[in-house]
Amino acid sequence: MISPAASGLGRQVRAYNVHECDAQDLMAKHGVPVARGSAVTTAADAESAAVKMQDSGVNDYVVKAQVLAGGRGKGSFMNGFKGGVHLCSEVKEVGEMAEQMLGQRLVTKQTGPEGKPCNKVLVTERLFLRKETYFAILMDRATAGPVMVGSSEGGMDIEAVAAETPDKIHNLAFPLDAGPEDADLVDLATKMGFTNESENNQTVDIMRKLWNMFAATDATLIEVNPLGETHDGRVYCLDAKLNFDDNAFYRQKDTFKLRDPSQEDPREVEAEKSGLNYIGLDGNIGCLVNGAGLAMATMDVIKLNGGDPANFLDLGGGATVDQVTAAFKLLNDDKNVQAILVNIFGGIMRCDIIAQGIIKAATDLGLSKPIVIRLAGTRVDEARKLIDDSGLRMLTTDDLQEAAQRVVRVAEIQKLATEAQVSVRFELPL
């Protein structure tokens, strides 16, 4: 469940999406035809699901790893098992495939080398398709409204289709309040290759239902790849990806219950619990800033001075001492962080509150990483006095450029010291 962080303020669920199995269930609830199947968490349950489908006439199955990443079919598990999507023709084989996937981490082109955990698999009927197309609905900046995207080239990397054969990508923009016209949907379905009356009617009906679902659920993306036609002329939505507007949490709580925190950066999940805006990056300089714009500028100035930020961490304008302490805990626990830059401009946020948080964090957490502090604005003199009186060994400055230079230098020294397995004691000036 999403931590409300005191009524939702400060939440940071970005690009919120759901597993394929949940996307299939949501589409089915809106009358969209999908393949029969169910999500399971054990190999025994996978076999049971296959047996139930066999009793209803299904003899071919697909076992799909449920991780929030693209390229699952070409991915590899860390146990050496290849592929996150497998076709099976026997019930026993379904269980064997599930056994290899469950509890393992799947590495794809979108996950990075650490992969993502596979805690459940989707066991579904295999539909034999004679036609595979691509269909999506998304919010488009260029037209300031929704747009439908269709292509006759489905079941493959749509980015490659757009790059190599852009004439096969067809867009349909329409007003948000009015929705798409039926004639335009008929035309788009025809361009996607659904030319005879029956398949065209089915596709238009699916498009309309997906648009209704898009509007009703505050979605920002519905992507179906493939939208396929079986050998007997039935059209189905397969392998869907859904994204939702996280600002609609207050009215889409049932949908947001489907969130799977195991697929997210654990640092970001922990930050959310304290109402912090946090995004993990690949550098070694931790950033603690108030205000998104100032945070971006801080990361820029670190890069300009030859360093690499380890995170985006925005305290916002009303952080408490406990939130500041929680922010420092995140940075202190991050093994990649070798130095911390605190850059606070006291407007709404008071500098002395930040100072109190720094002191509390250093006392409670035993902060072991060097800190460079730049404070300016409301109650900055009181903040400096608090830090001076605390006896803590921190580097302070009034100038952001100087602060960036210092933290980059400190991080470099700390990195060398870590490699040499020695400790460093920093003194001013540096």
**Which are the catalytic amino acids?**
134, 223
253 phi/psi in degrees, rounded to 5? -65, -35
- The single-letter code of the amino acid at 21 is C
Residue 166: cis peptide before it, omega within 30 degrees of 0: no
Q: Are 184 and 172 in contact (CB under 8 A)?
A: yes
Q: Are 2 and 11 in contact (CB under 8 A)?
A: yes
- The single-letter code of the amino acid at 99 is E
Indicate the DSSP class of residue 309. Answer: B
Q: Which residues touch 95 (CB under 8 Å, ≥6 apart)?
A: 43, 44, 46, 47, 50
**Neighbour-count burial of 157, counting CB atoms closer than 10 A to its CB (0-12 exposed, 13-18 middle, 19+ buried):** middle
Distance of alpha carbon 397 from alpha carbon 429, whole angstroms:
10
- The single-letter code of the amino acid at 189 is A
220 phi/psi in degrees, rounded to 5? -110, -15
Q: Are 423 and 390 in contact (CB under 8 A)?
A: no
Overall residue count recorded for the chain in this entry: 430
